[in-house]
Amino acid sequence: MLELRNVSLNFNGGDGAGIEVLRGVNLQLERGKLYAITGPNGGGKTSLAKVVMGIYTPSQGQVLLDGEDITGLSISERARRGIAYAFQHPPRFKGLTVADIMKIARPDLDSVHMRGYLRDVGLCPEDYLERDLGPGLSGGEIKRIEVAQLLARDAEVTIFDEPEAGVDLWTIQKLLAIIVKRYKGNRQGLAVIITHNEQFLPACDEIILIDEGTVQGQGPAQMMWPLLRDDIVCKQRAQCVGIGGRIDGI
Ligand SMILES: Nc1ncnc2c1ncn2[C@@H]1O[C@H](COP(=O)(O)OP(=O)(O)OP(=O)(O)O)[C@@H](O)[C@H]1O
Ligand SMILES: [Mg+2]
């Protein structure tokens, strides 16, 4: 349904040298599945999501939606085609209320459903609907409001960029349950969660590992998760005994 063909992304490093952020990424994502994208900081996960959303233009390669090449389409055109992205660091819209932004996400949203989506992310609608989206809301509250917006959008391709970041432990479990229930096995579309979270990763259908701008591995979560978990534990042990990530001999 969503395909990336040989996608590369370069930025100008400022000193004339280019920075290669994505290098020949090939991915095929199917309808009805919940995908996790994970990997080290700076590996290119957010950049990949921004290429899909049209925020970044790839220097090479194509993005296809249901077989159609959408590489040249604008962000708003892609949104109309059913691609939605929740930012890792959501922007704050001072002067707009939570109710306003929910209506922007879905203009035909009625009050009952709007309240339901806020409750889904652990926010009491009575306390939040008229709150301003400026600096008065905490980082975790802003993240949860953005997830509520995406749930309301009900897009065909939904990408959550670290939805758990800054969110308290009690709400993470709630977010995970609602995302799994909504997207796993739902043939209307697909969802991608960019995450480092040990609860989210094994709950997805497939895990894609991105590092240094390339896909280093992809497979069913029941196969990928034990390998990743062991690798994380190994690296933690290596750091603990002071050999900074070198895992041989452990
Ligand atoms: N607009 C930009 N201009 C220059 N470099 C950029 C830009 N956006 C991203 N990068 C660089 O691309 C690399 C990948 O960044 P990206 O945000 O995609 O990583 P990530 O995998 O999402 O990391 P994290 O886990 O920390 O969120 C980083 O080295 C980053 O500095
Ligand atoms: Mg990121």
Q: What is the mean pLDDT of residues 204-224?
A: 95
pLDDT tens digits, 20-35: 999 999 999 999 999 9
Whether residue 249 is predicted with pLDDT greater than 50 in this model: the reply is no
What is the C-alpha separation between 249 and 226, in angstroms, rounded? 20
Q: What is the mean pLDDT of residues 53-62?
A: 96
Name 17's Cβ contacts closer than 8 Å, sequence gap at least 6: none
Whether residue 159 is predicted with pLDDT greater than 50 in this model: the reply is yes
| Residue nearest (by alpha carbon) to ligand 1 atom 12 | 21
* Under 8 Å between Cβ of 208 and 215: yes
Name 51's Cβ contacts closer than 8 Å, sequence gap at least 6: 4, 7, 9, 22, 57, 58, 63
Q: What is the predicted pLDDT for the residue at 90?
A: 85
Separation of CA 41 and ligand 1 centre (Å): 8
User: 177: Cβ below 6 Å to ligand 1?
Assistant: no
Confidence tier at 229 by pLDDT (50, 70, 90): confident
On whether the pTM is more than 0.85, the answer is yes
Whether residue 158 is predicted with pLDDT greater than 80 in this model: the reply is yes
User: 88: Cβ below 6 Å to ligand 1?
Assistant: yes
Residues above pLDDT 90, as percent of the chain: 76
What mean pLDDT, rounded, does the chain reach? 91
Q: What is the predicted pLDDT for the residue at 232?
A: 73
| Residue nearest (by alpha carbon) to ligand 1 atom 25 | 41
pLDDT tens digits, 76-105: 999 999 999 999 988 888 889 999 999 999
Measured CA angle at 88 (ends 82, 91), to 5 deg: 85
Best of 47, 143, 201 to mutate for ligand 1, by most ligand atoms within 8 A of CB?
47
Whether residue 250 is predicted with pLDDT greater than 50 in this model: the reply is no
pLDDT tens digits, 112-151: 999 999 999 999 999 999 999 988 899 899 999 999 999 9
- Going along the chain from its start, the domains and CATH numbers come out as 19-44+82-240 (3.40.50.300)
Question: pLDDT higher for 231 or 20?
Answer: 20
Confidence tier at 248 by pLDDT (50, 70, 90): very low
Phi, psi values for residue 64, rounded to 5°: -120, 140
